[in-house]
Each structure stands twice: as structure tokens, then as C-alpha cells.
Amino acid sequence: MRSFAPGSIRNVALVGHGGTGKTTLAEALLSEAGAVSRPGRVEDGTTTCDFEPEEQRRGVSLSLALAPFEWKGHKINLLDTPGSPDFLGDAEMALRVADLAVFVVSAVDGVQPGCRRLWREAARLGVPRMVFVNKLDRDRSSFDGTLAELREAFGAGVAPLELPIGAEGLFHGVADLLSDTAHLYDGGERTSGPIPDDMVDREHEIHDNLVEGIVVGDDEQLERYLAGDVPSVEELEHTLARGVDDATVFPVVCGSASERIGIDRLADFICEIGPSPLDRPPIEVLAGDTTTTVTPDPSGPPLVQVFRTSADPFVGQVAMFRVLSGTVRADDHLVNPRTGTDERLHGLFTLCGKEHLEVAEVPTGDIAAVAKLGATSTGDTLAPKGTPVVVPTPPPPEPVYWVAVAAASAGDEDKLATALHRLVEDDPSLVLRRDDEVHQTQLGGQGELHLAVALERLSRKFGVEVRTDEVRIPYRETITATGAAEGKLKKQSGGHGQFAVVSLVVEPRERGAGLEFVDEVVGGAIPRQYIPAVEKGVVETMAEAGALGLPVVDIRVRCVDGKHHPVDSSEMAFKGATRLALREALANGSPVALEPIVRLDVTVPSDLQGEVLGDLSSRRGRVQGSSPGDEGETVLHAVVPAAELNRYAVDLRAITGGAGRFATEPAGYDVLPPHLVPTPVTAGPAAEHRG
């Protein structure tokens, strides 16, 4: 693929709620540009961007895909993103890489939760935005209704540049509000002419409002307009482009991706009013402890940001990157400041779905890929040697859904750890942890589908089969009353025996206070050298299990008396006697089971908070209040048992239609209701909830 000057490059992210037709739109754009011979279909798994077997099997996008094409002297790098809530991390990554976000909105379903969430993120990042209203050929589609929703959701900056001609099954063209021209589509061919008579009055009214809204952004044009001199279409587009670049104007165009109506017009608008990499502000970078900026300069030193890595079964790891400054050529050497590794960029290529297209060089602002980097992961920066510059990247979203994983067979055990780590390197929104207390390796992600797909890729790409289980809850136990007991160990089997007597009193402490060991032995009943053995016996017994078979916390243990033998006593004997005494004392102290609780902040549409509150109550949650969130949202604050949240990400999305989101943090332990105490009692740290 040939190289383009930075001013002729457009990096465009297609984003929006799932099912709005983003991948179909990408396929239509590629077909219009001649980049594919004929458009594929999502339903039969033949699209360019949904090339992973997991995507083709489900008929839905599951990862970020790159699809570049040429259009009227420009190169457009399309970043097709998934719309499922489980994979919005990829969409958010695309927003950080793109210079323009095209929000694809269904004219049937209107503005949906995924669109709102990604719009907030784009606004936070300052990314220019425009909207493509899709599916206008479908039954129950409404451009006017969708436009009203867009304005209500995103403000007065939403500006229609087109109106549909015809409705639902009769939709067959678009009216250009800037040039007062109708563009009709018949069998894939476009013809242009005057606005249909039945639309003239409405089109002129909206045209005048649009022109007035545009010239307000340019003092000279405003003066001319007020004097009766209407700026030309080219002048209006130039002013409109500035508003788009400043993220104050959000143009709305319309069409049908499946019927290829308005697709060429969308490509035109991307090139005409969409910003190039040179139009975007300087990039903030870290140089040591200092924050500075890098201007996108084709002649400057090369600076590369890797925004996605993936394992390719044929060429190894593939790293997708954007050049932030300078020009990168094949076999260049750059250093990864995070690892200090010198990375040689062997063959450079761009990706069109899964197809590799070789390129000789990659200029500022362009997007490409390279294989077999030694120690570079998603989010890393590559810079010239001696230039320790790092592009800061936000942390990935916290996991909201966990499963325990283990090798399905003994033959996979040795490969499992390596494969899981490679999986996590490719997808930073996956988190791997080992919980030795419950003896589980646990994988966390953004939802049930996210983890299911990850484990399918683990099998396909790394040849490792796993079995999954629910994450065990690390229950504890403590006491609610004072208890006392004596432990006596006496063994005689020839030669030296084992003898020790320990008297203990246990008392409850405040939650989270831990263990307090008190030595109250007087008169040498237990020699000084054995007191540490008694304390060690207490610590070990608490970690193993108490009266309920769970690890013990938050107690005071007073060693009040004991007996020893000058020959048969030993540290081992006193540890054994302590174990007997402590377990009996705990049983006499009215033991209770404790469960971990978390502090939960749930952000939901205000009109759905009643349903969410009812669900929290069913989960034994205690609501502690609420606060206003973003416009139209409420944040509910609650404390909920961790055992009740295992599938909360799935259930909350079902209750709120995908509009709800939540964050958690540990909030200590609380008493577990007696009817939920783990049964049968399992000694040792792997006790789990079976209630």
C-alpha cells in the first residue's frame, strides 16, 4: 500500500452500541472504495473486519479491527470496534487512537446506552465526533425521532447535514443541506438533482438554520451573512471543519449501510470536514518526571505508540501502532522505555482485517503493524535510543466478572500459565490472579461473553484446554463471646516423650483488628523459651481452621497457665497443646462465620433506580445513599456481600438494558447469616460457600 502525507490521512473510529451496523458500514465503505470486490455479510461471517473464528461463529464484532482504504486522494484508516459492553475497552482504545469518531446510530432503536457511554469518553478525550444515522430503510425507522434523541442527549452542537429522501422501505436518497442538492440511489448508482418538491420548504428551513449555525463560528463569514452575502459551500465546509476539530459541532449524516445509500457521501464528509493528524493538538508525554508535549511532525524524531497486540498463528505476535511523530521505516531500531529493550522493526505492514499489506514506511499520523517485537505490549511506547519518552495510557477497566480456571488435563498444566499470561498481554482488560487461600487461579474480565471468548482463543491460539469453576469466597470465622480451654499433649513411646499443657482464654476483638496475643503466664508454669512456640501454634491454628472449619480472625488470645516437663517438653509439644486448647476455646466462644463485603457504587439511569434498588435488596445489600451522576443518571452507594456479586455484571446489564455500570472496593467482613454458613464444614483454607 502506498504512503500518504499526514495531511491526507484520516484515522476514523466507528463506534456505537452493539447491533447498529458498524461492521456492515465498514464493509460498505471498503466496497465503495474498491478495497474489496464485494461487501461481505455479518450474518454469514464473510466481512473483512470480523475475521476471528469466534466473531464469525457468533455474528458479532469482538475485537478492534483495522481496515484502510483510499478515497479521493486520501487514506482512511477505519477502526471498526465492538459494541458489546464486554468489549468496550477496545472501543475506548480506538477513541484514543482516532482523530475522528463516527458514531453509528440505528434509526430504529435511537440513542442507546453504549452510544452514550462512548460519547462521554470521547468528550473526555476531546475527540471530534460526527454521527451516521443508519438503517433508514428498515421498518419503524425515524430520522426525525433519532435526531431529536441525539440533540437531547448531546446538546445543541448536533447539526444535521443531510435529510433522508423517502422513509422505511421507500428510502432511496439523501438531501444535502449545504448545497441544496438531492442524491438518489438506484441499484448502487447515484444521481444528483434538485430537492423533491414535497421536501423543498422543510429543506430550505433547515438549510437556513444550518448556515446560521455554521457562520456563527467565523466572525468574517457572520458579517457577510448578515449583510446578505451567503458564503459558498466550500467556505461553509471549511468553517464547519474547524468546529468539528474543536469538538463543538457534531455533524449528522444518514443512510443505509446494507443498501449502500449515502455511503460515498459519508466518505466525502470524512475527507472534507474530518481532521487530519496534523490538525490535532500536541500529544502529552512523560519524560522522566516531567510532562511535555510532542507535535505531530513528519520530520521529527520517530515516536510510536503500540495500541493493540495479538497473537497470530503464522507470524507470532502482531503489534498495531500509530506513529505520533517522525517517519518509521522497515528495520529501524527503537527502544521500549518501559523494558529498556531495543526493538527492531522488521517488515512493516498495514492490516486490512486479517490481510497483511506491506508498506515501506509509515509517516506521522499513520497506523500500521509489525510482527515479532521482543518485549512490547499493548500501551507501550517506542522511541529513539536515549529518548526515554512515554505516552501515558489510562489503566484498563477493573474486572467485573471472574471465573476460576484450571488445566483440563495434566498435559496442559505446564502450558497453562504461559498461555494465560500471553492472553492477558494481548488484552489488558483481562486480569489474572492467584488466590492461594482458596487454591484457585482466577481470570477476570468485563463480562461472561468476554471471558468465554478469551478461553476459546486460549484453546485455538495456544492449544490449551481449561475447565472453569465459580470463584470461591474466602470466608472467615471469629467469636462473639469469651471462651476458655486447656490443651494437654502427653505422649510416651520410649525414650523422650512429648508433654505440654496450655491454658488459653479467647476474647472477641473489633472487626479488622486481627490477632492480639497476650502472655499472662506467671511463676514459670511455661518456661520463657516455649512462649514463642505457643504464639506460633496460635497463628498456625487460626490460619488452618477454627470451630467452623474456617480461618479465624479478630481475636485476643491470652495464655494464662500451663505445665511443662523438664525432659519431655519441647516446642513441638507446646504447639500441639496450643492447637488443642485454641480449637476448644474457640468452640466455647460462640463462633460465627464471616463473609467478605464490598462497597458498591452503581451508576444507573435515574428512571431505573427502583428496579436496581430492589435487586440490591434481594442480594442482601444495604443501600447507604445516592448521589447525582452524569445527566439523567444516579449513583447508588451500597454495601453488598461479595458472594452475591458473582454475576452482577450480567444481571445489571439485563435490568438496565446495558446502561448500568458499577465499581467495587473491599469493605472488610461481616457476619454471615447462620442459614448460609458453609456446610458441610470443610477444614482448611479452601472452605467455600455452599449455602
- Residue at 297 is within a domain: yes
Q: What are the backbone dihedrals phi and psi of residue 335, each rounded to the nearest 5 degrees, phi first?
A: -110, 140
Q: Is 9 exposed, middle or buried (0-12, 13-18, 19+ CB in 10 A)?
A: buried
Domain boundary among 536, 560, 589: 589
What's the rounded Cα separation, in Å, for the pair 167 and 645?
45
Region 240-269 average pLDDT: 96
pLDDT score of 681: 42
Q: Which residue has the cell 425507522?
A: 141
Local confidence band at 289 (pLDDT 50, 70, 90 cut-offs):
confident
CB 645, CB 671: distance < 8 Å: no
State the DSSP H helix or E strand holding residue 148, giving kind and residue range, or none if neither: helix 143-154
Strand-pairing partners, residue 253, are 132
Residues 118 and 259 in one domain: yes
Local confidence band at 610 (pLDDT 50, 70, 90 cut-offs):
very high
- Residue at 214 is within a domain: no
Does residue 563 sit in helix, strand or coil? strand
Region 215-226 average pLDDT: 86
Q: Which residue has the cell 461471517?
A: 45
Closest CA to 615 of 657, 637, 648, 643: 648
Local confidence band at 679 (pLDDT 50, 70, 90 cut-offs):
low
pLDDT score of 272: 96
Q: What are the backbone dihedrals phi and psi of residue 363, each rounded to the nearest 5 degrees, phi first?
A: -80, 175
Residues 570 and 498 in one domain: yes
What's the rounded Cα separation, in Å, for the pair 643 and 359?
52
CATH number of residue 559's parent domain: 3.30.230.10
CB 458, CB 311: distance < 8 Å: no
CB 146, CB 105: distance < 8 Å: yes
pLDDT score of 154: 95
Region 349-359 average pLDDT: 93
pLDDT in tens, 616-631: 999 999 999 999 988 7
Residue partners of 3: CB distance under 8 A and separation at least 6: 359, 360, 361, 362, 363, 366
pLDDT in tens, 126-165: 999 999 999 999 999 999 999 999 999 999 899 999 999 9
Question: Which string of b and e fits 189-213 if b means at least 16 CB within 10 Å?
Answer: ebeeeebeeebeeebeebbeebbee
What's the rounded Cα separation, in Å, for the pair 474 and 684?
11
Three cell numbers at 11? 484515522
pLDDT score of 523: 87
CATH number of residue 445's parent domain: 3.30.70.870
Q: Is 58 exposed, middle or buried (0-12, 13-18, 19+ CB in 10 A)?
A: middle
Residues 551 and 535 in one domain: yes
91-96 long-range contacts (CB < 8 A, ≥24 apart) are 91/13, 91/15, 91/64, 91/118, 92/118, 92/121, 93/64, 93/307, 93/308, 94/13, 94/15, 94/64, 95/13, 95/15, 95/121, 95/122, 95/125, 95/127, 96/125, 96/307, 96/393
CATH number of residue 643's parent domain: 3.30.70.240
Half-sphere exposure of 216 (CA within 13 A, CB side): 11
Residues 172 and 50 in one domain: yes
Mean of all residue pLDDT scores within the chain: 92
Residues 576 and 429 in one domain: no
| Total number of domains constituting the chain | 5
pLDDT score of 96: 95
pLDDT score of 311: 81
Continuous H helices in 186-301: 200-215, 219-226, 233-245, 263-273
Q: Which residue has the cell 494437654?
A: 488
Q: Alpha carbon 575 to chain centroid distance?
A: 49
What's the rounded Cα separation, in Å, for the pair 243 and 250?
8
Q: What are the backbone dihedrals phi and psi of residue 589, each rounded to the nearest 5 degrees, phi first?
A: -105, 25
Domain boundary among 337, 371, 390: 390
pLDDT score of 495: 64
Q: Are strands 158-160 and 328-329 parallel, antiparallel or unpaired?
A: unpaired
What's the rounded Cα separation, in Å, for the pair 440 and 437?
8
Q: In what order do the strands lie in the sheet with 367-371?
A: 355-358, 348-352, 367-371, 316-325, 303-312, 381-382
Does residue 316 sit in helix, strand or coil? strand
pLDDT in tens, 160-182: 999 999 999 999 999 999 999 99
Containing structural domain, residue 411: 401-469
> Is the model's pLDDT at 494 over the cut of 70?
no
Angle at 321 between CA 318 and CA 324, to 5 degrees: 165
- Residue at 634 is within a domain: yes
Phi-psi region of 223 (alpha: psi -120 to 50; beta: other; left: phi over 0): alpha
Residues 33 and 135 in one domain: yes
Length of the chain: 691
Local confidence band at 687 (pLDDT 50, 70, 90 cut-offs):
very low
What's the rounded Cα separation, in Å, for the pair 673 and 592?
9
CATH number of residue 349's parent domain: 2.40.30.10
Tell me the pTM.
0.88
Does residue 79 sit in helix, strand or coil? strand
Residues 364 and 489 in one domain: no
- Residue at 319 is within a domain: yes
- Residue at 681 is within a domain: no
> Is the model's pLDDT at 77 over the cut of 80?
yes
Angle at 133 between CA 128 and CA 134, to 5 degrees: 125
What's the rounded Cα separation, in Å, for the pair 100 and 11?
6
CB 578, CB 504: distance < 8 Å: yes
> Is the model's pLDDT at 341 over the cut of 80?
yes
What's the rounded Cα separation, in Å, for the pair 437 and 87?
30
Closest CA to 266 of 28, 4, 19, 6: 28
pLDDT score of 677: 84
Three cell numbers at 685? 483454607
Task: Tell me whether the omega of the peptide bond preceding residue 128 falls within 30 degrees of 0, making it cis.
Answer: no
- Residue at 235 is within a domain: no
Angle at 414 between CA 409 and CA 417, to 5 degrees: 105
Domain boundary among 425, 449, 469: 469
Residues 168 and 271 in one domain: yes
**Amino acid letter, 543:** A
State the DSSP H helix or E strand holding residue 685, giving kind and residue range, or none if neither: none
Residues 421 and 509 in one domain: no
Q: Which residue has the cell 497453562?
A: 416
Q: Is 217 exposed, middle or buried (0-12, 13-18, 19+ CB in 10 A)?
A: middle
Residues 366 and 441 in one domain: no
- Residue at 459 is within a domain: yes
Residues 459 and 484 in one domain: no
Closest CA to 305 of 264, 281, 276, 338: 338
What's the rounded Cα separation, in Å, for the pair 198 and 184?
15
CATH number of residue 149's parent domain: 3.40.50.300
Sign of the torsion angle spanned by Cα atoms 662, 668, 673, 677: positive
Residues 382 and 312 in one domain: yes
Q: Are strands 476-479 and 591-605 parallel, antiparallel or unpaired?
A: antiparallel
- Residue at 123 is within a domain: yes
